[in-house]
Amino acid sequence: MRLKMFFSWLMLAASGGQAMAENTAHKDEGVIVIAHRGASGYRPEHTLLSYKLGLEQGADYIEPDLVMTKDGHLIARHDIYLSQTTDVAEHPEFASKRRKVRGREDWYVFDFTLAEIKTLRAVQPRHGRGQAYDGLESIPTFDEIIAMMKAARSRGHSAGLYVEIKRPELFIRQGLDPTASLLKGFAEIIEAGIPLYFQCFNAEYLISLRGRTDAELIWLIEGKKDAITKLYKLAAPLQLYAEHVDGIGINKALLLGPKGKPSGIVKDAHNLGLKVHIWTVRNDQVPGKIKTVDEELKFLFSQGVDGVFTDFPDTAIQARRSFNLLSAGPKEME
């Protein structure tokens, strides 16, 4: 992006002219494989077990979703409620914390201190996936995830972090602004030489960090389903934030246009200088008209996407390897 050099200059000036560590995610080429909530197809999501397996399987990036506790600590959970991914229901000491928020009765992360969260254990939320690892691990903090990635890097792993903050506007309304903690963590990650993306559905919050971090900024887009065609389409034009972000992370349904043809969103995004990352590919949840997950992945690669989020990193890496070999042609393979 043409604003990137300008903001990098501002950050250099703010540091007193001293050279800052470079975020090597800027240099990503080809399709990256992002371990969605870790290797969450095999382990309870957002646990160190899940993240470490993603690293072992060769994922290019590990994705932690972050939420904030009552006492201001960032922890890894996909949702603000706790019932589906932890054993909180088995803790009678927390029964009184169960309450209704926007129509959902549950236990909410912002009602718990970090010490209380650490007494919970992670469980597999998806029926049909193995539960052998349920109850083995506590909920990791952002600091613990960074420490894990630093240790992995010291052992030769080159994978990066692909961080998401969930519902920042909700936490801010409750006096729990995650910004300072995020920026501190981002600086530590980049200084350690770990590639970094930062993603958020809230585009206004996302771009509020432009110029305050060198993380690659990715605007998450779900789109909206057309009542007549049943196809997904953009709720806002890509041009709205294109000058302020480095890429988009989109619902894979947005790739399809009428009659099953490509919607053109990848080409449109690339013309605006944006990377395109797709979510989410799952071995056990293949779209109806596609026979296998390998077929789905190769379709995504053929559309020119720059990255895929997957619960099963090993499958995506194997499909990428096969796709690249087929795409290379005889001369490149010699």
Instruction: Please give the Cα distance from 23 to 197 (Å, whole number).
Output: 9
Q: CA torsion 181→185→187→189, rounded to 10°?
A: -170
State yes or no: is 157 an active-site residue. Answer: no
Q: Which two tokens stand for residue 282?
A: 């799952």
Is the peptide bond between 280 and the residue preceding it cis, with omega within 30 degrees of 0? yes
Q: Find out whether 224 and 235 touch, Cβ atoms under 8 Å.
A: yes
Beta-bridge mates of residue 32: 307
Strands 196-200, 160-165: parallel, antiparallel or unpaired by DSSP?
parallel
Residue 207 parent element (H or E): helix 203-208
Q: What are the C-alpha distances in Å from 180 to residues 206, 243, 332?
A: 14, 24, 48
Instruction: Please give the Cα distance from 234 to 316 (Å, whole number).
Output: 26
Which candidate in 36, 46, 73, 277 is catalytic? 36
State yes or no: is 78 an active-site residue. Answer: yes
Which candidate in 26, 46, 73, 78 is catalytic? 78
Closest CA to 193 of 219, 156, 165: 156
Q: Which two tokens stand for residue 270?
A: 């690339």
Residue type, 285: Q
Instruction: Please give the Cα distance from 177 to 72 (Å, whole number).
Output: 8
Give catalytic residue positions: 36, 78
